[in-house]
Amino acid sequence: MDKLIDSFKSLWETIKPTGAIMIAGIAIIVGAFASNRYLQLPLQYWQVISLVLVGLALLLYGFNRTGRASNVDKLGISLENNCLIIKRAGVNASTSQIKIKIENIENERCLKDKVVGLPVNSDFQDECVKRQNSATGAYINACLSGGVEARYNEILNLFNDVPKRIGSTMLVRDFLNKGDNIIFTAVTEKNNQGIITTTPINISYAMQELVKTARASNFLEISCPVFGSGHGGVAPRTAIKAMIDGIFGAFEVFGCNNMTVTIKVLNNTFNSIKSIKQAIGNE
C-alpha cells in the first residue's frame, strides 16, 4: 500500500507543473459531450467538435511538457575539467556514466582494455572508412598512418559475415595488427534514392547494440564520435540526445556496471562544452 501511495506521489510530482492544463483539457472534452444531455446547452455539432479539439490540444501539450520535464529531471549533468559527466536516476547501472568531450575521435587510440565504436552504413560497404572527412575514416587513417587505400578491400572482407542491417555490430580486436579495438556499428542506410540517411531511433538502437557488444566482450571504456550527424543528416543536438537515450537504455537492460561511454564531439559542431550542456539539458 505504501509503495502504491509513493507511486501516486511520484506521478503527481511529475505532472504537477502541467496538471492544471491537462485537467482543463479533460474538463472541456467531458463538457463538450455532456453539454446537450446534462448541461442543457444546445451546442451545434461543429461547436462540440471544436471544444473536443481544444481539449485534446491542451492534453497533448500537457503530456508533451510532462514528458520533457521528466526526461530532463532524470539526467544528472555536471561539468568537470571541461567534460560533461551524465548520469541518470533509476538506471540499473548506477556506477556507469556518459562523458562528452570536444575532441576529434582520432586523437586517442583505443588499445588494450579500451574500444572505439565507429559508425558505418548498414551494407558495411562504406567508403567513409577511408575518407578523412568522416569520423570513421579519420580514425582508420590515424590507425593505419594514412595507408587505408591499399588495405581497403582487406577491411571490407572483415564484414563478410555481418548481418547487413541497422544495429549490426562487428568487433575487431587488434585491427589489422595495429592494436586498436574497434566495434564497427551500422548506423546509417541507403534509402530508395540511394541517399545515405538515418533517424534518431536508428541512432539510439545502434548505440544500444554497441554498448551490448562491448559489455559482452568485457570492455568497460568506450569512445565514439557523434553518430548520424554527418552523412546521416541528423542535427548534432538531436543525434547526441538519441545516443544518450540508447546508452542509458543499454545500461538499464544489460546492467552495465562500471562502464564509461565517451562521446567525442568535433570542435566545429559546438563552440564550447557549456553549449552542449545547454543543448541536451533543455528542450
- Separation between Cα atoms, residue 186 and residue 194, nearest integer Å: 16
Does position 15 have pLDDT exceeding 50, yes or no? no
Q: What is the pLDDT of residues 116-159, one digit of tens each?
A: 999 999 999 878 888 888 999 999 999 998 888 899 999 999 99
Torsion sign across C-alpha atoms 166, 172, 178, 181:
positive
| Per-residue pLDDT, 5 | 45
In the chain, % of residues over pLDDT 90: 50
Mean pLDDT, rounded, of the chain: 83
**234 with 197: CB under 8 angstroms?**
no
Q: What is the pLDDT of residues 187-206, one digit of tens each?
A: 999 888 888 899 999 999 99
Cα–Cα separations (whole angstroms), residue 198 to 185, 206, 212, 264, 274: 13, 11, 20, 19, 27
Q: Using a cut of 0.85, tell me whether the model's pTM lies above it.
A: no
Torsion sign across C-alpha atoms 143, 144, 148, 151:
negative
| Per-residue pLDDT, 94 | 72
**Dihedral, CA of residue 78, residue 207, residue 66 and residue 4, to nearest 10:** -90
Does position 9 have pLDDT exceeding 60, yes or no? no
Residue 50 CA to its chain's centroid (Å) = 38
Per-residue confidence at 62, pLDDT binned at 50, 70, 90?
Answer: low
Poorest-pLDDT segment among 38-42, 48-52, 271-275:
38-42
Pairing of strands 221-225, 169-172: unpaired
Per-residue confidence at 67, pLDDT binned at 50, 70, 90?
Answer: low
As a whole number, mean pLDDT of residues 14-29 equals: 65
Q: What is the pLDDT of residues 102-121, one digit of tens each?
A: 999 999 889 999 999 999 99
Per-residue confidence at 50, pLDDT binned at 50, 70, 90?
Answer: confident
Give the N- to C-terminal CA distance of the chain in Å, as an integer: 36
- Separation between Cα atoms, residue 224 and residue 222, nearest integer Å: 7
| Per-residue pLDDT, 179 | 95
Which of 157, 202, 199 shows the shortest CA–CA distance to 175? 157
Poorest-pLDDT segment among 32-46, 126-140, 152-166, 258-272:
32-46
Per-residue confidence at 4, pLDDT binned at 50, 70, 90?
Answer: very low
Grid coordinates representing 113 are 582494455
Widest pairwise Cα distance in the chain: 83
